[in-house]
DNA sequence: CCTGTTTATCGTCAGTGCGACGACTAGGAT
DNA sequence: ATCCTAGTCGTCGCACTGACGATAAACAGG
């Protein structure tokens, strides 16, 4: 009994965003407090419905722009964020209202400005007033909190912190980021245009949640051709001995990869 | 001007399948000849629309069952095929009829039975009669042909062999498979339940399109704990000295990975 | 039976890359 | 001056890989 294609359900198609940044040695993600009816008041990943003539990637970029003001150069090493498709979630019943198929996207933004004020400012400064009138509540939540709450949910079967199936989406987005900085130069997307080896190392440490040996890390990244190009300048914004500044090089794939400590 | 969610277009949601197998030292994919109006007569990836209350993965498994008769153990090392989500394609205009968002899936099936008859039989034997009445034309096409035709398309701007944007979907599916057998034990999904080291090596050679040193390959796979489990039996179905038979072990991630020759 | 062919399996050896860690450098703070 | 912090250069041993020799166990054909 083959499925009959002429009977088609009314599908809604949405995009959800896992926006990741490293701030104060923590991997953080952007969450918004829901003002709408299902899961009202819970935190959720930013997202929205796809327009009738809108490309999926364009919808994701538009949502990002609305929520953070950031532009994306898709797969481009420009001044903007990195955006890529993550996975699609379409369980019937994941949204109690109607059948919603949501295409999740992963966004990596530069977040090394350590001042908390200017950091949240990148969100505050550009959120357009939503239909509800007031500014939506937006937060850079440490991923650890959200995910450990998730595993705690498994133990005590308490409801998760995030609405819908957004825990799972976040977990898979974080997994993807953790895996991808291993074999690509994507970690530089978390850094400002110019950065030091130490700053890049702190990105890896925050994303992986491990400590890396500064000497071996330095040898590895400076020894991989095309990964980093020195700009000539130095900075001492971290204290200690001034460090060389680098830009991201042309290489996107790291071969051999950056090894993540196992344990 | 934020996008207004209340205005929602009529989306159709479909699944497309990149079904890969290794047969006669070639990586092949399952294509069906279209009998419907757009691109009628062209080859296309198998696929179909998602049911109103149907999960995406369930829809993919159903389509696979209808087209090949194969069952899937999702992420299970059982007797059946491997299925995983690949990516979602939603460009407006990718289907001239209506807005179709298609969730592509990757399926790896065991195909080492070298008899061509029994091999196509796995398709023939179980295709349910489609609405059109006759049996749909189904073919295991070597991936090289389809993709080289694709690159030829770029040179001479001739229309591609596959309908819609299925060249791109196939290319990304093949890329995923090529990348994934590098750091996971997924290559065993191309093999029957019991197989020899040489058979596994020929899978790698077919998927990557390279020649591997039999001695180093043997050392590598037998030296990785949890990758292969000897069953005790031997076989000489390949001619030459009889080889030990193995089953896939519990390990799913290979660490260190199987290295793909660069050049 | 002997020989060539095919495939499987075991070893050897040199080169590469990584983890562990010592040593030195160049700034700021006290 | 002395500590403290962070960056940078070296060294050593180990693990793994690539190249390749050698042996083993089947079959085909003379």
Residue with tokens 């369930």: B58
Above 50 in pLDDT, residue A139? yes
**Contact between chains at B13 and A50 (C-beta distance less than 8 A):** no
Q: In sequence order, which ranges of B69-134 are alpha helices (DSSP H)?
A: 116-124
**Helices (DSSP H) in chain A: which residue ranges?**
56-68, 116-124, 143-156, 166-183, 197-208, 214-223
State the Cα torsion B136-B139-B145-B151 to the nearest 10°: 30
> Who contacts B157 (Cβ-Cβ below 8 Å, separation ≥6)?
none
Instruction: Give the model confidence (pLDDT) of B33-88 as tens digits.
Output: 988 778 888 999 999 999 999 999 999 999 999 988 888 765 543 456 899 999 99
Q: Is the CB of A135 under 7 A from strand C?
A: no
Residue in chain A nearest B87 by alpha carbon: A87
Q: How confident is the model at residue A4 (pLDDT cuts 50, 70, 90)?
A: very low
Q: A49: which chain B residues are within 8 Å (Cβ-Cβ)? A: 3, 5, 8
One-character DSSP codes across B227-256: TEEEEEEEE-TTSSS-EEEEEE-S--B-SS
Provide the pLDDT confidence category of residue B8 given band limits of 50, 70 and 90. Answer: low
At residue B49, φ and ψ (nearest 5 deg) are -80, 155
Q: What's the token pair of residue B228?
A: 């292969």
A207 to A44, A172, A178: CA distances (angstroms): 21, 13, 6
pLDDT of residue B76: 43
Q: Is the pLDDT assigned to residue B107 strictly greater than 60?
A: yes
Q: pLDDT over 90 for what percent of chain A?
A: 67
Per-residue pLDDT band for A127 (boundaries 50, 70, 90) equals: very low
Between CA A193 and CA A200, with CA A195 as vertex, the angle to 5 degrees is: 115
Strand D near-CB residues (< 7 Å), A 143-202: 196-199, 201
B251-260 tens-digit pLDDT: 999 999 999 9
The percentage of chain A sitting over the pLDDT mark of 70, rounded to a whole number, equals 80
pLDDT higher at A5 or A183: A183
Q: Is the CB of B5 under 7 A from strand D?
A: no
Q: Which residues of A touch B49 (CB under 8 A)?
A: 3, 5, 8
Closest nt to residue A242, judged CA to C1': C27
Q: Which of A130-134, B47-51, B165-169 has the lowest mean pLDDT?
A: A130-134
Return the higher-pLDDT residue of B168 and A136. Answer: B168
Please give the mean pLDDT across all residues of chain A. Answer: 85
Over the stretch A170-191, which tens digit does the pLDDT of each residue have?
Answer: 999 999 999 999 999 999 999 9
Residue nearest to nucleotide D9 (CA to C1'): A215
A25 contact to strand D (CB, 7 A limit): no
Measured CA to CA, the distance from residue A196 to residue A240 in angstroms comes to 13
> Would you place residue A125 in the very low, low, confident or very high pLDDT band (cuts 50, 70, 90)?
very low
Quick one: average pLDDT of B164-185?
97
Q: Sorting pLDDT into bands at 50, 70 and 90, what band is B197?
A: very high
- Nucleic acid strand D within 7 Å of A245 CB: no
| pLDDT top residue among B154 and A216 | A216
Contact B2 A130 (CB under 8 A): yes
Q: Are A229 and A246 in contact (CB under 8 A)?
A: yes
For residues A191-211, average pLDDT:
97
CA within 13 Å, CB half, B73: 6
CA–CA separation, B76 vs A159, rounded Å?
28
Q: Could you tell me the pTM of the whole model?
A: 0.89
pLDDT tops 50 at residue B196? yes
Determine the residue of chain B that is closest to A3 in CA distance.
B51
Higher-scoring residue by pLDDT: B236, B184: B184
Using a CB–CB cut-off of 8 Å, the residues of A that contact B are 1-5, 7-13, 48-56, 59, 62, 66, 85, 87-92, 99, 101, 103, 128, 130-131, 255, 262
A56-68 average pLDDT score: 93
* Average pLDDT of the residues in B144-164: 73
Average pLDDT of chain B to the nearest whole number: 85
DSSP one-letter string for A85-150: EEEEE--TTSSSSS-EEEEEEEEE-------HHHHHHHHHTTPPP-TTSSPPPEEEEEHHHHHHHH
Is the CB of B53 less than 8 angstroms away from the CB of A85?
no
Q: Which of residues 189-248 of B touch strand C (CB under 7 A)?
A: 196-199, 201, 214-216, 218-219, 222, 234, 238-244
Q: How confident is the model at residue A131 (pLDDT cuts 50, 70, 90)?
A: very low
Is pLDDT above 60 for A141?
Answer: yes
- Protein residue minimizing CA–C1' distance to C17: A256
User: Is A162:A42 a contact under the CB 8 Å cutoff?
Assistant: yes
Closest CA relative to residue B107, chosen from B123, B131, B128, B129: B123
Determine which of A134-138, A152-156, B18-22 has the lowest per-residue pLDDT on average: A152-156
């Amino acid at each position: 009994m083959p499925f009959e294609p002429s009977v088609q359900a009314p599908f809604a198609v949405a995009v959800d965003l896992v926006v990741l940044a490293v701030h104060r040695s923590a991997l953080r993600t952007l969450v918004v407090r829901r003002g709408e009816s299902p899961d009202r008041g819970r935190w959720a990943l930013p997202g929205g419905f796809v327009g009738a003539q809108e490309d999926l990637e364009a919808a994701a970029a538009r949502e990002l722009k609305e929520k953070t003001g950031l532009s994306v150069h898709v797969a481009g090493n420009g001044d903007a964020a990195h955006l890529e498709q993550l996975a699609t979630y379409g369980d019937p019943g994941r949204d109690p209202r109607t059948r919603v198929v949501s295409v999740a996207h992963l966004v990596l933004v530069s977040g090394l400005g350590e001042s908390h004020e200017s950091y949240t400012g990148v969100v505050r400064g550009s959120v357009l007033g939503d239909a509800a009138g007031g500014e939506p509540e937006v937060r850079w939540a440490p991923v650890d909190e959200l995910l450990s709450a998730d595993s705690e949910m498994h133990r005590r079967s308490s409801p998760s912190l995030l609405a819908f199936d957004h825990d799972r989406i976040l977990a898979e987005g974080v997994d993807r980021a953790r895996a991808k900085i291993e074999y690509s130069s994507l970690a530089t997307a978390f850094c400002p245009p110019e950065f030091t080896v130490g700053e890049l190392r702190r990105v890896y440490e925050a994303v992986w949640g491990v400590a890396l040996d500064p000497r071996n890390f330095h040898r590895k990244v400076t020894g991989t051709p095309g990964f980093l190009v020195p700009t000539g300048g130095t900075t001492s914004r971290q204290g200690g001995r001034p460090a060389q500044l680098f830009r991201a090089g042309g290489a996107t794939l790291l071969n051999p990869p950056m090894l993540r400590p196992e344990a």
